Structure 1
Amino acid sequence: MAVDSFLIRLATDVAKAAADMSSLRSSRSEFQRAVVFRLREEGYDVAICQTSWLATQDVAAGNYEYIDVVGMVHGKATTTSCTPGERYIVDLGFTTDFAVARPTAAYALVLEALPRVLVARANVVRKVVKVAGKEARRSLKDQGLTVPPWRKKQFMAAKWFSPHRRMADTATGHHAPVVASGNAMRRTVGFVLGPPVQPWLRYYAL
């Protein structure tokens, strides 16, 4: 299967932006917007994406934000294997969405395999969320704990795959840059960089 060179470049640029803005991590909103601004400077079609959903019999109401990147890098004459208009999801705190009380040893390995900062195609994210969410619920049940509403399958999927909109304040680029400083915090990003991950996770990265 062809290497997605767009994904590799995007993951590299996300890593650089996240490291440069690491002092803002305590504020998820500011951190995300600072990273979006840096990516836009590199020519990406990028914005904060907000999902929201109403309560149903099986799902509690909620909303969520992540970074949405579309298509190819504008102004860069390089060949990539991505499809123009394809969505890529960047989540700067991905592992926190799968934390559970008293994780089993097996689930601890799953958490270790998940990237703190996720950079992936939307279809890959859907598969990873499905598998990791299932393992999270299994861990809770194995420990004799009740699965809370925010760990149920429908709720987890709703975070990234409910109806969404790109936030105008980040899509237009008409805002001042955020300046941050601090020690670089380079982490494994996505599924294509850094040390090897668990085999099942690598499979879903293809």
Structure 2
Amino acid sequence: MAPAAEGRRRAKRVTDPLDDRVKAQLRGDEYRLGGYVSSGSEHEGAGELSGFIDGIFFSDEEEEDAAAGGVGSGEGGDEKVGSDAEEGWPQLSAGSTAAIVRDLLKPAVAGDPFRRELAAQVAELVERLAPLRPNRAAFRRALMGSLRESGYDAGICKARWESRGGASAGNYEYIDVLRPSSSTTPQRYLVDVEFAGEFEIARPSPEYERVAAQLPRVYVGRPEEMKRLLRLLADAAKRSLQSREMHIPPWRKGRYMQAKWLGAYRRTTNLTPAGSTAAPASHPSFTAGRDVKCRLVGFDAAPRLAVLPAATRAR
């Protein structure tokens, strides 16, 4: 055997159940990003996740950077699923990934009472507004307005991004809620009313189905939790597609997911979409024309995102 081959270390697959300490390390419980300003000024999240998390879940980011620089497939093209995880890092089994995803989505009750109360309020409003679900845009705005009626600083976040680094251009909308803080930066919470549906993939493996089964239809959580969750889901989807010998389409890449929830966005609290001929509903919680640009950097090696006048989302 050649010396180079002898020295190669293959990734180790974790198959045994993980204890609480290891799960906490994988989730990055000891890491917390700083608060986020979403008042209309540009801002960035502070803090970093461990290199351990980076190595396991988004080891393909370097490959995408190489492709963007002219190596490999062209911009916007399909990417063949990689073979092994980064050398020296274990590759999680589906059971371990599903358990960590479940723990991220169901944190300790005492850990974040505001999130618990917000999630309960969102669940109640979603049920009440269910007849509006067929029209996603109207449903989202009705939910945002109802949250504001309930006293929450909620807004519609509209993300748009250019095609860059192998990820296609697109746009996405979700709700965020700002929690007042004693510091100058309020804590931001993301609310997505069709979260689980965004992770449906073609011909999912049984292992991926176990992971996807943990995802709620309605997501309520903080950006730093979303960041960890996307890393887990990107890794699980990659392994599923690899098992089916399929390519990763541009809109299933980690960069595309980053842009949807953690990239540049425009925040508005208007009751009606911009350019609508309908008269805005009267509501004491709304200020006409309140529409601000924000930037949220939370991913390592995230592409530089630009707000566009208009874009059509690729599905």
Compute the TM-score of the two structures, normalised by the length of structure 1.
0.75
Q: Which runs of 5+ in 1 are unaligned?
A: 73-79, 178-206
Please point out which of 143, 150, 172 is paired with 2:244.
143
Structure 2 residue 265 is the aligned partner of structure 1 residue 159 = no
Give 1:95's aligned residue.
Answer: 196
The two structures have a TM-score, normalised by structure 2, of 0.50
Query: Is 1:38 the counterpart of 2:146 in the alignment?
Result: yes
Task: Give the distance between the partners of 1:82 and 1:103, measured in 2 at CA.
Answer: 44
C-alpha distance in structure 1 between counterparts of 2:271 and 2:261, whole Å:
18
Higher RCO (CA < 8 A, seq sep 6+): 1
Identical amino acids, percent of aligned pairs: 39
Q: 1:57 to 1:82 in 2, by over 3 A?
A: same
Query: Are the aligned partners of 2:147 and 2:154 in contact in 1 as well (CA < 8 Å)?
Result: yes
Alpha carbons 1:47, 1:67 under 8 Å: kept: yes
Q: Which residue of 2 aligns with 1:120?
A: 221
Where does the alignment leave 5 or more consecutive residues of structure 2 unmatched?
A: 1-107, 273-279, 284-315
- Higher share in helix: 1
Is contact 1:71-1:82 (8 Å) kept?
Answer: no
State the Cα deviation string for residues 136-174 of structure 1 (Å, max 9, x = none). 122112112211110011111110111111124249xx5
3-state SS of paired residue (1:169):
coil
Mapped partners of 2:195, 2:153: distance in 1: 21
Three-state SS of the structure 2 residue aligned to 1:52 is strand
Question: What RMSD over aligned residues (CA atoms) do the two structures have, in Å?
Answer: 2.3
Q: What is the rounded CA distance, in whole Å, between the counterparts of 2:226 and 2:182 in structure 1?
A: 18
Match of 2:124 in 1: 16
The Cα shift of 1:81 comes to 11
> 4+ runs of 1 displaced by more than 2 Å?
80-84, 174-177
- Count of aligned positions: 168
**How many Å separate the matches in 2 of 1:4 and 1:81?**
16
Deviation string for 1:32-52 (max 9, x for gaps)? Answer: 111111111110000110111
Supply the distance in 1 between the matched residues of 2:200 and 2:282 (Cα, whole angstroms): 34
Kindly indicate whether residue 166 of structure 2 is the aligned counterpart of residue 58 of structure 1. Answer: yes
